[in-house]
Amino acid sequence: MEKDDVGKNSINQELMVLKNLVNDSTNYSKDSFVNQIKTLLSLSGTGSINEEVNKLFGIVARDGTGDSFYRQLIRLLSFADNKNGIYKSVVDTFNVDYENYNLGKGISFLCPALDELTGGISNGELCTILGASGSMKTTYSSNIAYNAIKEGKNVLYLSLEEQPLQLYCKWLSRAATDLGKKLPAQDIIQHKLEEKDKDILFNEVIPYFKNLEGNLYIVGEGDLWNYSLQTLEDKFREVDALAQEQSGHGIDLLVVDHIQLIKFAVESMDPTNVINMYVSFFRQQCLSWLHEKRSIAVILLSQANRDGTNYASKHNGMYLATHVAEASEVIRASSYIISVYTDVGMQFVKSLAVGAVKLRGSQLPQSTINVFADGKYYQVGDIIQHRDDYTMDELMGCSTETSKDLEAQVKSIDFDPFKVV
């Protein structure tokens, strides 16, 4: 082994020790971090790694192990599995990088106006879906992911709220609509399907889903020992290897549902700092998946705070950046922040208000855009297929004001925007 390789391996090992210190809350202390950083400084010599280690050391000395420390740590860890260890200019590597990086059509938002403005979600881009509890964030993101699978993408869905089996039942309800079948999601979940519909599920829908161009991999809370960065990365690596074995390529899209559920992952840290640390982690995975020279698309689901929900109910479903709950890093790290809003009237006409809070490099729409959304069959988008039930004007032109008029017709329904539907 060459001398340079030995040095690089040593640095990788010590970086992993530093990562493990972060993950092990029982050994959380400033002194342990400082000592490990000093060890890294003694190995790194000169160049980019040494510069990044020095930055980390300066942050610890000045601010301790707060939010900025974790951002810099995640940046430093990206060097750990860099096989070359040498900086190369994009000017010199453009021919190869251009072929590997998707600069064209991205993953559809299922909203033509947003797709036209952005080109969709491309590799290397992090998109946040913002909304209150019960606002169809999971339904919307699942439909984006489902559409991506139909186009040959492999999707890893990190479900920290719903059990994988329950979520998969909903996806099967969605898939059934492609076959012209109506299998309500809750009927599948609660084993209420009639025998003829059960036959359709097992003999038509499931084979159809399994034969889609891409694959779905759902990782639930029960699949993880804990929420540490190392545990998540190990599981991602395991799933990516399975995807490569089954399809010839790895994960293309990661969905995290939802980011606020990780806020107690490190007991000794402030919950907001924890969320921000994990947002930075997912951003890094987006740019350098599993520390390889490979980028993927990432969708984070984020709760809106109460001020945001109240604001949206009075402004046609629109949210502001300040309405992201407990996660300021979301605003900086996201290429796109897309909001979703619904109320009882909009659900009555099967409509979802989709808004843009942030579109990096694109102009923001002046108002929300209403798209078809049918929670019963777990479907968003594909409006043309449903003109038998509702006219295009009803689906695209229904404003929140119209929804309020409809709400008066269904007052018997008790609606709480903070209740999980």
Q: What DSSP designation does 204 have?
A: I
94, part of any domain: no
415, part of any domain: no
Q: What is the pLDDT of residue 365?
A: 84
* Mean pLDDT in consecutive groups of 10 residues from the start of the chain, 421 residues: 46 69 59 70 59 69 64 62 53 65 74 89 93 93 96 95 93 95 95 95 95 94 87 92 93 93 81 86 91 90 92 91 83 92 90 92 86 93 47 44 49 42 35
244, part of any domain: yes
d(CA 266, CA 67): 13
Q: What is the pLDDT of residue 5?
A: 45
Closest by CA position to 292, among listed 259, 326, 244: 244
Amino acid at position 217, single letter: Y
The answer to whether residues 18 and 58 belong to one domain is: yes
For residue 14, give the 3-state DSSP assignment: helix
The answer to whether residues 118 and 58 belong to one domain is: no
H or E stretch covering 369: strand 369-374
Q: Domain of 335?
A: 105-409
419, part of any domain: no
| CATH code of the domain in which 208 resides | 3.40.50.300
Q: What is the pLDDT of residue 247?
A: 92
The domain boundary, picked from 24, 53, 87, lies at: 87
As for how many domains the chain has, the answer is 2
Q: What is the pLDDT of residue 411?
A: 44
The string of pLDDT tens digits covering residues 377-406 is: 999 985 434 434 444 444 444 444 544 554
267, part of any domain: yes
The answer to whether residues 370 and 337 belong to one domain is: yes
Q: What is the pLDDT of residue 397?
A: 44
The answer to whether residues 112 and 220 belong to one domain is: yes
d(CA 318, CA 305): 13
Per DSSP bridges, beta strands 297-303 and 216-220 are unpaired
pTM: 0.73
Q: What angle (nearest 5°) sits at the alpha carbon of residue 240, between those of residues 4 and 48?
A: 30
143, part of any domain: yes
Which residue pairs from 398-402 have beta carbons closer than 8 angstroms and sit at least 24 positions apart in sequence? 398/346, 398/349, 398/351, 398/370, 399/316, 399/370, 400/313, 400/316, 400/317, 400/341, 400/343, 400/346, 400/353, 401/316, 402/345
416, part of any domain: no
The answer to whether residues 27 and 161 belong to one domain is: no
The answer to whether residues 79 and 216 belong to one domain is: no
The answer to whether residues 169 and 55 belong to one domain is: no
Q: What is the pLDDT of residue 93?
A: 66
For residue 126, give the 3-state DSSP assignment: strand
The answer to whether residues 351 and 228 belong to one domain is: yes
Q: What is the pLDDT of residue 258?
A: 82
Q: What is the pLDDT of residue 293?
A: 78
Residue 304 has φ and ψ, to the nearest 5°, of -90, 150
The domain boundary, picked from 52, 87, 122, lies at: 87
Report CA 145 to chain centroid distance, whole Å.
Answer: 10
The answer to whether residues 113 and 220 belong to one domain is: yes
Relative orientation angle of helices 3-23 and 67-77, to the nearest 10 degrees: 150
Q: Which residues of 87-125 are buried (b: 16+ CB within 10 A; e: fewer)?
A: eeeeeeeeeeeeeeebeeebbbbbbeebbebbbbbbbbb
Per DSSP bridges, beta strands 155-159 and 253-257 are parallel
The answer to whether residues 74 and 122 belong to one domain is: no
CB-based burial label for 43 (10 Å; 0-12, 13-18, 19+): middle
The domain boundary, picked from 58, 87, 116, lies at: 87
The answer to whether residues 31 and 147 belong to one domain is: no
Integer-rounded Cα radius of gyration of the chain: 23
98, part of any domain: no
The answer to whether residues 116 and 74 belong to one domain is: no
Q: What is the pLDDT of residue 28?
A: 54
